Amino acid sequence: MRAPNNDLVAIDRPLRWDHPLDPEMLKRDLQWMLNQPPFSEMNSDVFPAHSSLEGVLRHDCRILRYESGDIVIREGDYGGSGYLVLRGSVVAFLEALWQPRGKPSEPNGPTTWMDWLKQTFKPNSNRKPASPKSNRREGSRNGSQTAAADKKRTTPRQQVEMVGGKSRIFLQDISAVMNGFQSEPLGVGEIFGEMAAITRSQHRYTVVANTPTVILEIRWQGLRILRRDKSFRDYLDARFRESSLQTHLRETPLLRFLDDATMAEVIAQTSIQSMGEREWFADYRDSQKLDVQAQIAREPLIATEGHAVSDLILIRAGFARLSFEQGRGHQTIAYLGRGHVFGLAELSHRFRNPSDKPLPYQESLRALGFVDILRIPSELVLTHVLPKIRNSELPKPITNPRYDSGGLVVSASLPQSRLGTVESAEESFAKLETSLLEFLVDERIINGKQTMIVDLDRCTGCDECVKACASTHEGIPRFVRNGPQFGPLLFAHACMHCADPVCMIGCPTGAIARDQDSGVISIDSQTCIGCKTCAESCPYSNILMIQVRDEKGRAVVDRKTQLPILQASKCDMCHELKTGPSCQNACPHQALFRIDTSETKPLEQWLNRRAG
Amino acid sequence: MESNLQSQARLWTVVWNAMASVYARWLRRLVPSLTVVVAWLSLQSMRNRSAASLQNEAFVTGYSLACICVLLMLLGVRKRILSPQLGQLAICQQTHHYLGLLSVGAYALHANLITTGWMESSLAMSFWSIALTGLTGWYVNRTAPRLLRTAGAQILREDIPERSRFLAKQAHELALASAGRNDTAAMADHYRVHVSSFFTTRRNWLYRISPTGAKRRRLLTELENIDRYLSEEGRAQRREMSSLVQAKDDLDFQSAIQNRIRFWASAHTWVLGAFIVLTVTHVILAHQFSSSW
Amino acid sequence: MNHYRLPRQSFKCGNSLTGEPCPIGPVRGRCTLSQSDPTKNNCRPLRTLLWWSRTIQVCAGLIALIAVSLAWSNLGGKHSLAPGPLSRAHAQLLVAAHHGNSSELAINTENRCAACHPGNDTNSARVKQSALCLKCHIQEMPDAVHGSPHDLHGKSLEELVANGNRPETKTFWAKLFSRTPIDWQSHSSECSQCHREHQGSLHGLSEMTSERCQACHRNAFHSFSSDHPEFKNYPYGRNKNVEFDHVKHRDLHFSKKSTTFDCKTCHIQSDQVGAVGQVFRSVPFEQACASCHTEPIKSATQDGLIVLQIPSINRKQMKSFGADIPCWPIQASQMTDGVIPPIMRMLIESEPGGLALLGELPASGRLVELDVSNDRDRATLSKLSVMTKQLIQKLANEGQPGFRAAVQNLLSNSGRLLSPLQTDPKSLPISWLDRFSSGIPPDLFRAAWDEWFEEGSSTVLRTAPVGFAKERQKDDDDLLTGIGNSLSTQPDNSLLGNDPRSLLETERTEGANSERFKDSRAWDQLAFGGWMIDRQRMAVVYVPIGHADPWLSRWIELEQLRPSGAPNQRIPQAQQCRQCHALSSLDRPGIPMDKNNWSVAFRNANQSPLSQQLVSDDRLNACWKSEKRSAVVRNITHFDHKPHLTLPRLNDCRTCHELESQDSRVVSKQEFAPMQKSQCADCHQKNAAGESCTQCHNYHVGIKGWLDGLQSRPSRTTEPTNHFFQNP
């Protein structure tokens, strides 16, 4: 490790806004912005002294200039900022311009020399089949509605060129692309990209400047402060509503056959609803102390089994537990993530045989933490949606319902779950044994996209992984080889780079941020002020505060208090070395893997390989 | 058309996975073992050829053995240099295992099993110690994890003492709690006489070498036997105590097995330095004293 | 999970066993707790397993290093670096300083590595190890210094390769793994290539795998029975100095005598051990042959062989032609007759002008053919008479040395050189030449002179009287008595002399003090060999002593060495000897050329012309005896009867050496049926008696000094002559 050294390095405790987003912002630009709407309308009283409006603009914003055709944000990228158009105009493409990029890092790389050979000789052999999302994309491409358009439109080419030292990525022949794809223009004063920033998710659309444009980037810490201003908040919420509604509905494969008019109607009728609060981890912490059934009972109900089917429920963000009453408790069948649909089976049953009495919900849906859902009224679905869908795409008919109009059917056997997605997750869920499923859900491991799983049937505790991690990170490892355990599977205390990274919520400086492409969440040691927010907000306590040491290993302390300066530290997937996490590479017994547990496919595949 | 292709692709993947899952297990062992055998045979034929052309076959086998040893040592280097471009360590590890087997074969070709002379004997001894510890370590690494899984949740080796102290504390408090009342005091006495040492002291060396459940079973049965002197809550406490005993034994088992793994792993490296020194000397001597060829 | 566990630490927090371990843990074995929080004070860190194993690692390495360096610097004695104990043969490789010459350094257990390993303190790295081996082994295998295959060179090696190597069998695999063949012409092998030391005291240095042989002999020998070439007439076809015909003996002689024909009686000598155990090619005459062969030899030699004989010449005729021969015995004066006996011829030849004289004599050698009326013949006769006198006179005067000189002249005339050892008499107690003259009594020749040529002797006529010879011819008895008288001390006693019968009576009556000696034949008086004057034949006679007479055999050798003359000029008794002894090996060096016999092959290759070969004692002796195998060149094959004879079924020699019958042997010029490989292959298999090459074959087949003829041995032992010392 480091050389011991007794004399300490005293520094000023780092503060937020030590590192402004745009260090060389001009005073007059700032002034000019302050006079621009919407900032001119805001009243600066609502802002506390330590974070004034001016301070926000100074430190959390930056002015960007784009030529026509420049790409501002790209669909699929993880967003950390909202963008305000100051001058010029941009175009938002609501459809996918490109096939989604493959996963940045293969969670299950070569494990044995055999796989290694396989991979070297036939590279596609063990690539994971496309995720439901991407399938849906494909669906939307070869749908009948766009079939005609397919010929004339050409997938736009991105081009990169250097302008004034910094590269700009732009689309060729923006106009052609515009009439090729469904697009929506955004003018001065409009905000985009904030949705992804606030929900810590990926952008849903690509935005391209179609004239020379000036855009103000506000990182989401700034946005959160600006939300204090009522009008601004309302504006944001409204915008958030409709845009999220639109984009999501448009991307829902069920609705892809609707013409614009009906789609508009559907959009109008559909209501968006947020269950649970965004900072769900605090609640989760104390609920964890209760036993499982109590936990489940505490989870807010989205839909209750046995109730009449009022709407078709689409999950837009977050996770929901699909369960039914078994004995005195609830048995989890699956967890639904973004894009899954609930209640379609019942509706389609009603659609298939209108004569019978309509079946109520067969299972109940519970919000795990924070969930965004869309409710489409069932009548609308019956009249407009279902007629247009191929029978094959509909879920299997319900043969023996658990609930009918009369209530609970006693003779009901175990349900085959009926999930409303075209490529339903049902089979894969069926393969994961329920206990594991429940474990994953209860431990909220379903949130992890890079979960570190240690196979205890192989792990000898040689600590090679820890060594590797330590030597990649200045001698201090970034995870602990221990944690919740399910049978032979140990879910180690290493950052899972969650689908919903609640750790990012509280961070005042944005030191903890998500990489645009890989989705890896890492902490920038330059900007981290050691406020412990992330460490406390991480539900899995995978973020630890460590004492800062300088290159010589001297402990760094606060100049005033002489107390050690702490910093948050967590796994960063070794993103600086391009070949994936070194822990996985360093395991000599093929016991350690990073696996995306937000979907079940990878886990299930890995379990299969493990069995084989 | 496209769906057709997809279905075909899916079919193939299914077939491949099925095949892999069935055959992978023994294929994974078979192929490298065969490679080792082939390598050994070819080494032998090389040796015979050089012997038959009146060269000193000891040089052929010796140098190939030396190369193998160098490759084997490269694993240690690989573990220290951390660049994932070198591929998974697991692959290196497996290569190391099979190379180790090969090295034993090569050694048998180079020097017979019995060696004479001080230098040579010590060299042989160091080689054998390394080889045997390596093989044992291999075996232990394969078997130990499943053993560990039998003894409750896994715990980090560093945390074991803390954990056991915690258990001891709990047991002590439990005993104190029981001591208070007559209808439960029996357990307190029993604890003081028989159980407390089990929590506080270290297990004997025999257990640490090959842990057995004998003592645990004895303690548990003894504990159960005092039920007759206990009231209801006394029994409840007793059950708690039993579970604590169970936990402690699991902990000891864990530490024993984990130590076993560590021991073999480190024993593998003990005489490495000596081995290198002796090998180098051996090579120099061989060249200096076998003149003219 | 409240802190990260730092991996690969040599130290752990001192509180980890007793209290709460601190999250940071010690850095380089020092607790830094007080740094992070000054209120607490440091713990004393504990050592982890890693620390211990690292320490062990380092210590073990250091110990090894020290031990090795100690052993290297002679402190511990280099021998501790030796890969193993020496074999028994070399274990006593020690030389104390005091004995041996002072220049030689003492070899003790410490520094003796240098005795065999070059590049050490004592000898330079240029020296090859084999050279050091040969420092001691030069005596046994002088030709090994060349490092050539089988210690052979030139034609002999080619011969060996040509016959020893079948064309290589090329199977697919053989092609695949075809080795680079060893160039046997330029190849020089090192001792250590086959002889591995340091394998422990019980390890046989000469043990060798057959693969080594097949490095050069490249045809695949999988088993002796299948791949080894058939024997070509093994082990017979050697020359036989003693021509013993087994078949004849068995079928004729032994059956006639109705005695059992048992090999062992002649071939086993229980008191000796030879190259192949107690079995010998021949045993002494006395043991084997004497019982039958003494008689014929005796009878053949009892007449003795004539050394000198006075030729009888018709002096009357000579005189009538005016060429009288002065002082010539009466008895040899009547007619011209007689033959010059072989030994006398040789003596004459040794004299100056002798050769010419012999040339003038008729080819038949009979003097009768000389015609006195012819002047040339008359001259010859007179010369002959003179020569005869001269010889006797010489021998009488000079005695044995004279005789020796004569033989020596004889040899040098016939272009033979003598080995320096034999030329000077002082060098050896008794040499070959000396043996010629040993035992010759000079008095005998004086007596002969007095009797036949001395003036005044009654048996000598000064001048031939006319007609005298006629009357003398009449009465033999008278002549006899006359001779008898002439022998008596009192000359004139003609009365008694007239009546031999009365003479005999008087002999009977007063035999004790009689002064007259009974005249007698050689075989009566000289029953056991020796010298005498035979007045009957007017000759000096030597009677040999039965078998292996030293004097006679010398002459036979001499005859053998000289360009042989006409049969009538040969020593008659030699025929008897030659019946059994083929003295061939004198002319040809050793064994006759034989394709199956490598030793011969290369001997002939280096054979030098006969005339230049020196007559050495040992070879002269060898040519009489049948060669012992040990005496023969070291052969490519070796065989020991002893282990074989223990097998009951092999105890009868004929199981392997079976005699051909009379007629079958006419076809195959052998008297023994050649041995078949199968006979050996019965037992010599992989898992039985074994079939490794070295079991029957020798590698080192050179003979002492064969390669460079008979150069003087000492030059070999000085090292730098052999190639090991000139390394490239």
What are the tens digits of pLDDT across the range B79-105? 877 665 667 788 889 999 999 999 999
Instruction: Report the alpha-carbon distance of residue A451 to residue A584 in Å, rounded.
Output: 11
Helix (H, G, I), strand (E, B) or coil at A387: helix
Q: Which residue has the higher pLDDT, C11 or B22?
A: C11
Average pLDDT, chain A: 76
Q: Which residue of C has its CA nearest to B159?
A: C16
Helix (H, G, I), strand (E, B) or coil at A44: helix
Q: Which of A30-44, A421-435, A524-538 has the highest mean pLDDT?
A: A524-538
On whether any CB of chain A is under 8 Å from the CB of C172, the answer is: no
Are C157 and C184 contacting, i.e. CB atoms less than 8 angstroms apart? yes
Which amino acid is located at C560 in the chain? Answer: Q
Residues 246-265 of B with CB under 8 A from C: 259, 262-263
A1–C28 C-beta distance less than 8 A:
yes
Partner chains of A (3+ C-beta pairs under 8 Å): B, C
In C, which residues are within 8 Å of B56 by CB distance? 193
Q: Which residue has the higher pLDDT, A94 or A570?
A: A570
- Give chain B's length: 293
Q: Which residue of C has its CA nearest to B276?
A: C61
C422-431 average pLDDT score: 52
In C, which residues are within 8 Å of B291 by CB distance? 117-119, 125, 128-129, 192
Lowest mean pLDDT among A547-556, A597-606, C512-521: C512-521
pLDDT reported for residue B100: 95
Are A360 and A310 contacting, i.e. CB atoms less than 8 angstroms apart? no
Pick the residue of C30, C32, C33, C49 with the most A CBs within 10 A to test the interface with A by mutation: C32
pLDDT reported for residue C563: 62
On whether any CB of chain A is under 8 Å from the CB of B255, the answer is: no
Q: Which residue has the higher pLDDT, C670 or A566?
A: A566
Are A309 and A323 contacting, i.e. CB atoms less than 8 angstroms apart? no
Q: Which of A415-424, B60-69, C470-479 has the highest mean pLDDT?
A: B60-69
Instruction: Report the alpha-carbon distance of residue A21 to residue A59 in Å, rounded.
Output: 6
For residue A56, what are the CA distances in angstroms to A32, A218, C26, C568? 14, 9, 43, 150
In C, which residues are within 8 Å of B112 by CB distance? none
ipTM: 0.73
Q: Which residues contact A85 (CB under 8 A, 6 or more apart)?
A: A186, A187, A188, A189, A190, A191, A192, A213, A214, A215
Are C310 and C538 contacting, i.e. CB atoms less than 8 angstroms apart? yes
Neighbour count for residue C171 (Cβ, 10 Å): 10
A317-338 average pLDDT score: 80
Task: Choose among A413, A463, A428: nearest CA to A335.
Answer: A428
Partner chains of B (3+ C-beta pairs under 8 Å): A, C
A482–C8 C-beta distance less than 8 A:
no
Please tell me which of the candidates C53, C63, C179 has its beta carbon nearest to residue B53: C179
Q: Which residue has the higher pLDDT, A589 or C589?
A: A589
The DSSP code for A384 is: I
Please tell me which of the candidates B120, B162, B270 has its beta carbon nearest to residue C83: B120
The DSSP code for C84 is: S
Q: Which residue has the higher pLDDT, A441 or C617?
A: A441
DSSP output for C334-403: SS-B-B--HHHHHHHHHSTTHHHHHHHS-TT-BGGG--TTSHHHHHHHHHHHHHHHHHHHHHHHH-HHHH
Q: In chain C, what percentage of residues exceed pLDDT 70? A: 64
Are C46 and C13 contacting, i.e. CB atoms less than 8 angstroms apart? yes
Lowest mean pLDDT among A127-131, A580-584, C265-269: A127-131
Instruction: Report the alpha-carbon distance of residue B109 to residue B65 in Å, rounded.
Output: 9
Give the HSE-up count for residue A189: Cα atoms under 13 Å, Cβ half-sphere: 9
The DSSP code for C622 is: H
B196-218 average pLDDT score: 91
Indicate if the alpha-carbon torsion angle C390, C394, C396, C402 is positive or negative: negative
Q: Which residue of B has its CA nearest to C129?
A: B291
**pLDDT (tens digit, 9 = 90+) per residue, A186-215?**
888 888 888 777 777 778 788 888 888 888
A111–B156 C-beta distance less than 8 A:
no
Pairing of strands A9-11, A556-558: parallel
DSSP output for A140-175: HHS-HHHHHHHHH--PPPEEEEEETTEEEEEESSHH
Cα torsion C453, C454, C458, C464 to 10°: value is 50
**pLDDT (tens digit, 9 = 90+) per residue, C388-413?**
888 888 888 888 888 888 887 877 77
Q: Which residue of A has its CA nearest to B86?
A: A585
B125-142 average pLDDT score: 94
- Predicted confidence band of residue B41 (pLDDT cuts 50, 70, 90): very high
B273–C64 C-beta distance less than 8 A:
yes
pLDDT of residue A128 exceeding 50, the answer is no
- Predicted confidence band of residue B242 (pLDDT cuts 50, 70, 90): very high
- Predicted confidence band of residue A155 (pLDDT cuts 50, 70, 90): low
Which amino acid is located at C5 in the chain? Answer: R
* C337 strand-pairing partners: C312
pLDDT reported for residue A367: 87
- Predicted confidence band of residue C653 (pLDDT cuts 50, 70, 90): confident
Partner chains of C (3+ C-beta pairs under 8 Å): A, B
- Predicted confidence band of residue A3 (pLDDT cuts 50, 70, 90): very low
Residue whose pair of structure tokens reads 């007596």 in the numeric block:
C447
- Predicted confidence band of residue C715 (pLDDT cuts 50, 70, 90): very low
Q: Which residue has the higher pLDDT, B44 or C614?
A: B44
- How much is the pTM? 0.70
Q: Which residue has the higher pLDDT, B116 or C610?
A: B116
**pLDDT (tens digit, 9 = 90+) per residue, A456-498?**
988 998 888 898 888 888 888 899 988 899 888 999 999 999 8
A135-163 average pLDDT score: 46
Q: In chain C, what percentage of residues exceed pLDDT 90? A: 2
pLDDT reported for residue C173: 59
- Alpha helices in C123-153, H assignment, sequence order: 129-137
Q: Which residue has the higher pLDDT, A286 or C96?
A: A286
Please tell me which of the candidates C1, C7, C35 has its beta carbon nearest to residue A467: C7
C68–B278 C-beta distance less than 8 A:
yes
Are A127 and A103 contacting, i.e. CB atoms less than 8 angstroms apart? no
pLDDT reported for residue A151: 40
Average pLDDT, chain C: 71
pLDDT of residue C147 exceeding 90, the answer is no
Q: Which residue has the higher pLDDT, C263 or A495?
A: A495
Cα torsion C509, C513, C514, C517 to 10°: value is 120
Task: Choose among C475, A477, A58, C326: nearest CA to C483.
Answer: C475
Instruction: Report the alpha-carbon distance of residue A362 to residue A385 in Å, rounded.
Output: 21
Give the HSE-up count for residue A96: Cα atoms under 13 Å, Cβ half-sphere: 19
C64–B122 C-beta distance less than 8 A:
yes
Please tell me which of the candidates B20, B32, B265 has its beta carbon nearest to residue A612: B20
From A417's Cα to the closest Cα of chain B, the distance in A is 23
pLDDT of residue C506 exceeding 60, the answer is no
Helix (H, G, I), strand (E, B) or coil at C635: coil
Instruction: Report the alpha-carbon distance of residue B62 to residue B108 in Å, rounded.
Output: 10
Element of type H or E holding A112: none
pLDDT of residue A420 exceeding 90, the answer is no
Are B117 and B285 contacting, i.e. CB atoms less than 8 angstroms apart? no
The DSSP code for A50 is: G
Instruction: Report the alpha-carbon distance of residue C347 to residue C387 in Å, rounded.
Output: 10
C271-286 average pLDDT score: 75
Please tell me which of the candidates B51, B120, B290 has its beta carbon nearest to residue C192: B290
Instruction: Report the alpha-carbon distance of residue C279 to residue C272 in Å, rounded.
Output: 9
pLDDT reported for residue B106: 94
Q: Which of A583-597, C77-91, C596-610 has the highest mean pLDDT?
A: A583-597
A6–C27 C-beta distance less than 8 A:
no
